[in-house]
Amino acid sequence: MTGAVVLAADVLASSGGGDGSGKAILLALLLAGPLFYGWVHLRYRNTDKRHHHESETRSQMLDVQAQDTHIGSRTGLTSARMKGANSRKVRAP
């Protein structure tokens, strides 16, 4: 159920403007029942909650060394976000 909520949220987030937003609303309406079930389930059971150690723990970053090398270009990309971006994911490699 939680997966359905996340999947629907991803689909809605990835749809662009214009015709895409109409389809996103249609999809949201078709999934309204499962989405409502999932939302209530999470609100009552809070199975998705955890301590955000990555941001709530005091830490200091020192002596930062950055190395950025241009390795190419990509054109005609359809998404506004980089595919596979994971810098805000906790369990990234």
Partner 1 sequence: MSDADAPQPGAPPDGPRVVSTGGDRSDGIVRCERCGASEASLNVATGMLRCGFCRYEWRTENALVTFDLDGAIGELSGVVVGSGTADVTADPSVTLRCTACGADVVIDTTAGVQARCHWCRHTLSLTEQVPNGAVPDMLLPFRVPKADAVTRVAEFVGKRTFFAHPRFRAEFTPENVMGVYLPYMVVDVNAHARVAGEGEHQTRSYTVQVRNSEGETRSERRYDADVYDVRRAFDVHVDDLTVESSAERLDRDTERTSNNVINTILPFDVENGVRYDPRYLQGFTSERRDVDVDALRGAVHQQVGDIARWRADETIDHYDRGVRWDSTDVDVHGERWVSAYLPVWLYSYLEEKKDGSTLLHYVAVNGRTGETMGSIPLNKGRLALVAGVVEAFALVAAVVLWVLM
Which residues are near partner 1 by CB under 8 A? 16-19, 22, 25-26, 29-30, 32-34, 36-37, 40-41, 43-47, 49-51, 53-88, 90-93
In angstroms, what is the minimal distance from the CB of 89 to partner 1? 8
Closest-CA residue to 39 (of 83, 84, 2, 79):
2
In angstroms, what is the minimal distance from the CB of 79 to partner 1? 7
Number of Cβ within a 10 Å radius of residue 12: 17
Number of Cβ within a 10 Å radius of residue 23: 14
Shorter beta-carbon distance to partner 1: residue 7 or 90: 90
